[in-house]
Structure 1
């Protein structure tokens, strides 16, 4: 197996463990323990952890290693405000620059997300959601928007993975989830080449996500 495949395997495995709540905020992810659990050498695990730090999902503590940050209301407000600002402009740019191939790819991700939701496959749902949002960023044809969109998206996943009802539920307690419908509204705006509608749809989607996650904190 090539080096990149081992790193990707470690990366996806760590995300899967987080989705399954093997870790909680404040826990340290130790390189040696993860390598043993995943039956990998320390190098791809170290690279995967570094990638998660760079993406904003983990924090690096001197002489201690990588830790899952403890969520706070203040940080949540800043993260989702930043997502609204960055992703809304990204979607507006995508409405102007996306190719037909870009749009078809986004529609494929949306279909995959819907299928994952119906089967309560959290890992597949998370991956399709990531590909959808970052796919819009790629379609913007703006490398800077793409870079910052990726960083703030992953930081927001700290909250989504631990507070979103979909990731906390099991197949017998599935709740109504509106993300696929809202994603479809974003695609429609991009299809119609309407940057104002795309911007508004993304703002509404991220605000709705924030409200669902954090209303108890704000009351």
Structure 2
């Protein structure tokens, strides 16, 4: 197999597995057996291992020495702890940044809210997560504490992965012309309104409510998962004729 073909197959495997994880086709904790992937796609182990490393770097799978690769499976306790810590940091950021927010900050928050709703309407989870992350980053951006900002960013990355795995995003259909604004987006707007009014206490209260609601919307069980051997069952795959070595 030439280097260009290996690179192409690596990308195919990476994209297929990533989409399967993001769209909840694979159950959290599923072992991603190299032998199964190799047999289903008729490819060598090299591009498979490269794709798995990329997914591990993004936090979507765990590479366990002497055991293999697994779709991440955070416990309910881990999820609760991450959100609790994130809430504490964001609340501290709001307190430290009180009176420092500018109209430009508020406009960026407003645009993030708009982008979030637009992404919901399109069913675009990655755009939704990006808009959500930006809004929360802005909440701590005026804290003046780079460690707080950095730690908040790390926790946002972690909780975004939990949303990918367990949120009801793909189980609901949002239509801007007929449906009310979803609860999460409404809460973001309520936080923004309180900040515009200079009411940090109200903004903090709304933020705490928002975090509680966010955790409540994460459902760690759902029907309809596929086995790894079923993932490519209905697809001949664009590279099914590639050699295995």
TM (normalized to structure 1)? 0.69
Given candidates 79, 91, 110, the residue that maps to 1:88 is 91
Unpaired runs of at least 5, structure 1: 1-8
Given candidates 191, 198, 218, the residue that maps to 2:196 is 191
Once the two structures are superposed, residues 92-144 of structure 1 have per-residue CA deviations (whole angstroms, 9 ceiling, x without a partner) of: 33443222222211111111111222333322212211221123232333211
Is 1:99–1:139's contact at 8 Å kept on the other side of the alignment?
A: no
- Aligned CA-pair RMSD: 3.8
Is 1:16–1:123's contact at 8 Å kept on the other side of the alignment?
A: no
2:139 aligned residue: 136
Is 2:121–2:173's contact at 8 Å kept on the other side of the alignment?
A: no
The yes-or-no answer on 1:20 pairing with 2:20 is no
Unpaired runs of at least 5, structure 2: 1-10, 38-42, 222-245
Count, aligned residues: 196
2:233 aligned residue: none
Any idea what SS the aligned residue of 1:130 has? helix
Deviation at 1:203, TM superposition (A): 0.7
Is 1:95–1:198's contact at 8 Å kept on the other side of the alignment?
A: no
Once the two structures are superposed, residues 1-26 of structure 1 have per-residue CA deviations (whole angstroms, 9 ceiling, x without a partner) of: xxxxxxxx9xxx68655422354422
2:74 aligned residue: 71
The yes-or-no answer on 1:203 pairing with 2:202 is no
Residues 102 and 59 of structure 1, relative CA distance in 2, 3 Å threshold: farther
The yes-or-no answer on 1:113 pairing with 2:120 is no
Given candidates 147, 150, 160, the residue that maps to 1:147 is 150
Higher relative contact order (CA closer than 8 Å, sequence separation 6+): 2
Any idea what SS the aligned residue of 1:97 has? coil
Larger Rg: 2
Residues 212 and 43 of structure 1, relative CA distance in 2, 3 Å threshold: closer
2:3 aligned residue: none
TM (normalized to structure 2)? 0.63
Residues 72 and 106 of structure 1, relative CA distance in 2, 3 Å threshold: same
2:186 aligned residue: 181
Q: How does 1:28-107 map to 2 (within 5 A)?
A: 49-50=56-57, 52-53=58-59, 59-62=62-65, 67-107=70-110
Is 1:117–1:125's contact at 8 Å kept on the other side of the alignment?
A: yes
Q: 2: distance between equivalents of 1:138 and 1:60?
A: 34
More helix by proportion, 1 or 2? 1
